Chain A
């Protein structure tokens, strides 16, 4: 879990960015910044669920909860603990 933020950052970068895009930070707004559209959240959610063996309820998988690497990491920690 120590590398959780790095894992998420790497996934989001490979999944959504083009070769000449500016690099992401842990705080870059992903959805409100137009990098990830809300439809594309589904593969991110599935990736997290598979990788960390968790289930994220649909009502928790909101654009707000997925809007930065930091927020996504917080969400994953919540369900890994549970």
Chain B
């Protein structure tokens, strides 16, 4: 038999090990559109519960915006449901090209190529533009999708300590003999919520003749004065060689991603990137929705301004309550718990108090760095945040971690 009892037993033992460690992930079923308030079935079969969502990438509150939904409906009527094709065969509509132009303009680059997701963009870009004679130098905390893309590429790979510009420069010097060098970083780091020092990265890359690739998935739409991203925040628009970003977070939350940057690099992706060549094109309904999102963002900074205010309010509230937070000023606010089981239990207790926020632990974050990652949205109102802060304080008191240092929490719960 192809799947023998012996083989089944091997996997059952591994899964039981995950359960025994208290870190078995269980999905929660949401019975409503994505929003600040959602209705959830958890555990499976339980009655629906209305909770405040503090863990969506719905930064601008556009995931269920009526104008976006209406535009998606219009896109379905005008351009159909699916293309049944990859881009280069017969999967490119006029609206795909229009979206690429809009994104190019928004990000301040030379050209853009859509991908089915930013995971696909990151998987495909390095192999498309580099060879074994080149080197990729990545921040040690880049997103898993960049790690996967790096693994698929034959160029040499090295790393630098997180956001350590002196260490980055030492690596650029170490690899000076390589044909091409690419420095790779997130713009905003997804687990810690801190922003890259892109002005310093750009200066080093220009000094050492290296290209710079930035994944802006947790920045596009809301970081920087007009939401263009981390490069706008750091005053280096027009000087990033490749930006990858997603439409599955702030920019509508459906799916899709892109590579945007120097014309030749984007064209190399169009010619050679495997996810572009072999994976289905973004559905017209999604493209239509994202076009509406781009129109909304180009007209006003109201949403990103509200998000910024919400983030500051939330951070202040958690700090005053006595939680250990990762420092930063973005809408990603990790509440540090360090112990994986504590993070799981804390998340369940928050849910009982009407707040939906998930525990993150190894391998998603390093061992001993478990946390509840909270994320703000322009869709949150102050009453959501106040209720959520009360819930956090209540659960924090239950687990006796308020006002405790990192060392004290680790002594109590272990790593």
Contacts and interface: CB of A to CB of B under 8 A. Distances in A.
A61 to B, nearest CB: 12
B157 interface: yes
B142 to A, nearest CB: 11
B174 A40 contact: no
B181 to A, nearest CB: 13
Nearest to A42: B158
B156 interface: yes
B50 interface: no
B71 to A, nearest CB: 42
A34 to B, nearest CB: 8
B171 interface: yes
Interface in A37-51: 39-40, 42-43, 46-47, 50
Contacts of B34: none
Contacts of B150: 39
Contacts of B171: 43
Contacts of B158: 39-40, 42-43, 46
Nearest to A43: B158
B280 interface: no
Interface residues on A, range: under 10
A46 B174 contact: yes
B101 interface: no
Q: Is the interface of A mostly helix, strand, loop or mixed?
A: helix
Q: Is the interface of B mostly helix, strand, loop or mixed?
A: mixed
B175 interface: yes
Interface in B141-173: 150, 156-159, 171
B343 to A, nearest CB: 20
Contacts of A46: 158, 174-175
Interface in B170-187: 171, 174-175
A42 B367 CA distance: 23
Nearest to A44: B158
B159 A47 contact: no
B174 A39 contact: no
Interface in B60-110: none
B175 A39 contact: no
Contacts of B367: 34
Nearest to A18: B161
Interface in A11-45: 34, 39-40, 42-43
A51 to B, nearest CB: 11
B277 to A, nearest CB: 26
Interface string B25-46: 0000000000000000000000
A75 to B, nearest CB: 19
B222 to A, nearest CB: 30
A43 B171 CA distance: 8
A39 B146 CA distance: 13
A39 B171 CA distance: 14
A39 B150 CA distance: 10
B332 to A, nearest CB: 21
A50 B150 CA distance: 25
Contacts of A39: 150, 157-159
Contacts of B157: 39, 42
A20 to B, nearest CB: 10
A46 B158 CA distance: 10
B175 A40 contact: no
Contacts of A34: 367
A46 B171 CA distance: 10
A47 B174 CA distance: 8
A40 B150 CA distance: 13
Contacts of A50: 174
B405 to A, nearest CB: 13
Contacts of A40: 158-159
Closest 5 CB pairs of A and B: A43-B158, A39-B157, A42-B158, A40-B159, A46-B174
Interface of B: 150, 156-159, 171, 174-175, 367
Interface of A: 34, 39-40, 42-43, 46-47, 50
Given A34-B367, A39-B159, A50-B174, 5 more contacts: A39-B150, A39-B157, A43-B159, A43-B174, A46-B175
14 contacts: A34-B367, A39-B150, A39-B158, A39-B159, A40-B159, A42-B156, A42-B158, A43-B159, A43-B171, A43-B174, A46-B158, A46-B174, A47-B174, A50-B174
